Copies of this chain bind each other. A is one copy, B any other.
Amino acid sequence: MTDRSATLQRLRDLLGERLSTGESIRDIHGRDEAYSAPALPDAVAFPESTEEVSRIVAICAEDGCPVIPFGVGTSLEGHVIPVRGGVSLDMSRMNRVLAVNGADLDAVVQPGVTRKALNESLRASGLMFTVDPGADATLGGMAATRASGTNAVRYGTMRETVLALEVVLADGTVIETGTRAKKSSSGYDLTHLFVGSEGTLGIITQLTVRLHGIPEEISAATAAFPTVAAAVDTVILAIQSGIPLARVELLDEVQMRGMALYNPDFSLPEAPHLFLEFHGSPAGVAEQVAQFREIAEEYGASDFAWANRPEDRTRLWEARHNGYYAARALKPGCAGLVTDICVPISALADCIAAAKAETDAAGLIAPLVGHVGDGNFHMLLLIDPDDSEELGRAKDVAHRLNRLALSFGGTVTGEHGIGTGKLGYMQEEHGSAWAVMGTIKHALDPKGILNPGKVVPQD
């Protein structure tokens, strides 16, 4: 292992107690929420300002020491794991909301602010931050992975939500990638280059994000469908008809069974469901609901249940967000391997059918939840962590699902990102464009110190 004691000493001189080499701190920063193998950083740094981040990166650059940004560690593809050691840069102390600009519908925040903390601080403003990946992730981490979630069908992903960034580059230089102006034709779109770059091109130290007004009326609903295909066809037709669905989540019958096992108060039937939300004026929401209901009933929907009071909506979406834990209730003691494929919506019903055929053929329990308005769905392949044969079968199925997405003109990751977990699909998904990513990485980080081992072709 490389001797990094001189680097760490220089960092300790800069940060004092805010550089930690303790085993338990390093351990926390050496894993994420999924199944990637952990790897420890040499140290964890807790910067409190952009200038400190810049100095840390400059020191690490001189010594060729890896720097891996860390939010709250809820990523799922090994993004934050220091596979080559180095310094984990924990951004949790940079957690201030710097400005909320109501007239411009934007906010300027530090990267350690979580989405729930931002929405909490917006409470009095009548505004909301819409990107909702389930976990209470940091905005820096969400930008770095181009996260999305249940609201993306209406309000977009982090791609549409980040207006501008402040970024520390691989040599410590600080840049701003845009302004608060709503649009611009001024030069290369560096904002979008850094969104989704997973810490491999620079460290995000500040974000300007788009906000939305909280709608006057919000109505949520669940509806049961005879088949998954009927639910998907309903969504396609609703979107084509211009119904501005704010949320539309598919849960298959297996997932619904898990939710009933997980929560004894959960009373919805064991059939494929859509969980929905409608936003607008009272008249607008009433119109959306009527239009949607007409389409859904044509496809055989039944058991509509409405949640119009805030507490009922909260309960509904909590149930959805706890889907991961609920799914695991189907196989007590199990671990889960989650897929994240995304295809053009016209291919979604066929893709889901083919995916279910794969999991069935492999004899796996694999509940499905999907952001179907975006063509994105997750299957959680449940495995006994001690059963290496079953793990092998699950990995094989996950691989088949990823290939399936590519065969339908889609992507292996709609919202979780590449990290190390999906690195093996980059060549097949992007062809020659993957080498272009490597060229850009090499130009901006010639020493390869920023989150090495991720996203781009490896030397």
B-binding residues in A (CB < 8 A): 101-106, 145-148, 152, 157, 159-160, 169, 173-177, 179-193, 195-197, 201, 212-213, 215-216, 236, 239-242, 281, 283-284, 287, 340, 342-346, 374-376, 405, 409-418, 422, 425-426, 429-434, 436-437, 439-440, 442-444, 455-456
Complex CA distance for A433 and B176, rounded to whole angstroms: 6
Nearest to A184 among chain B residues (CB) is B411
Kindly provide the distance from the CB of A235 to the nearest chain B CB, expressed in whole angstroms: 11
A182 and B442 in contact, given A187-B437, A240-B103 (Cβ under 8 angstroms): no
Complex CA distance for A103 and B215, rounded to whole angstroms: 28
What 3 A-B pairs are tightest by C-beta distance, nearest first? A192-B192, A443-B443, A103-B346
Is B182 in contact with A342, judged by CB distance below 8 angstroms? yes
With a cutoff of 8 Å between Cβ atoms, the chain B residues found around residue A160 in the complex are 160
Is A176 in contact with B146, judged by CB distance below 8 angstroms? no
With a cutoff of 8 Å between Cβ atoms, the chain B residues found around residue A236 in the complex are 103
Complex CA distance for A105 and B240, rounded to whole angstroms: 7
Kindly provide the distance from the CB of A218 to the nearest chain B CB, expressed in whole angstroms: 12
A437 and B190 in contact, given A185-B415, A442-B443 (Cβ under 8 angstroms): yes
Is A343 in contact with B181, judged by CB distance below 8 angstroms? yes
**Among A174, A175, A197, A216, which residue has the most Cβ atoms of chain B within 10 A?**
A175
Complex CA distance for A374 and B213, rounded to whole angstroms: 16
A183-B375, A189-B195, A284-B287 given; name 9 further pairs at CB < 8 Å: A159-B192, A177-B433, A180-B344, A181-B411, A187-B196, A187-B437, A188-B193, A188-B196, A216-B242
Complex CA distance for A103 and B414, rounded to whole angstroms: 19
Complex CA distance for A429 and B342, rounded to whole angstroms: 37
Is A416 in contact with B192, judged by CB distance below 8 angstroms? no
Is A186 in contact with B148, judged by CB distance below 8 angstroms? no
Is B444 in contact with A159, judged by CB distance below 8 angstroms? no
With a cutoff of 8 Å between Cβ atoms, the chain B residues found around residue A103 in the complex are 236, 240, 344-346
Is A375 in contact with B414, judged by CB distance below 8 angstroms? no
With a cutoff of 8 Å between Cβ atoms, the chain B residues found around residue A409 in the complex are 179-181
With a cutoff of 8 Å between Cβ atoms, the chain B residues found around residue A185 in the complex are 145-148, 196, 340, 411, 413-418
Nearest to A241 among chain B residues (CB) is B213
Nearest to A215 among chain B residues (CB) is B242
Is A213 in contact with B187, judged by CB distance below 8 angstroms? no
With a cutoff of 8 Å between Cβ atoms, the chain B residues found around residue A174 in the complex are 432
Nearest to A192 among chain B residues (CB) is B192
Complex CA distance for A146 and B188, rounded to whole angstroms: 10
Complex CA distance for A284 and B444, rounded to whole angstroms: 49
With a cutoff of 8 Å between Cβ atoms, the chain B residues found around residue A425 in the complex are 186
A374 and B193 in contact, given A105-B239, A174-B432, A213-B240 (Cβ under 8 angstroms): no
Complex CA distance for A154 and B184, rounded to whole angstroms: 16
A188 and B183 in contact, given A216-B242, A346-B104, A432-B173 (Cβ under 8 angstroms): no
With a cutoff of 8 Å between Cβ atoms, the chain B residues found around residue A175 in the complex are 430-433, 436
Kindly provide the distance from the CB of A162 to the nearest chain B CB, expressed in whole angstroms: 11
Complex CA distance for A418 and B146, rounded to whole angstroms: 28
Nearest to A163 among chain B residues (CB) is B344
With a cutoff of 8 Å between Cβ atoms, the chain B residues found around residue A183 in the complex are 146, 148, 152, 157, 159, 342, 374-376, 414-415
Nearest to A236 among chain B residues (CB) is B103
User: 7 A-B contacts, Cβ less than 8 Å apart?
Assistant: A102-B240, A179-B409, A180-B409, A183-B414, A185-B340, A186-B418, A216-B242
Kindly provide the distance from the CB of A284 to the nearest chain B CB, expressed in whole angstroms: 6
Is B345 in contact with A440, judged by CB distance below 8 angstroms? no
Complex CA distance for A411 and B189, rounded to whole angstroms: 13
A411 and B177 in contact, given A105-B239, A440-B440 (Cβ under 8 angstroms): no
With a cutoff of 8 Å between Cβ atoms, the chain B residues found around residue A181 in the complex are 342-344, 375-376, 405, 409-411, 414
Complex CA distance for A160 and B161, rounded to whole angstroms: 11
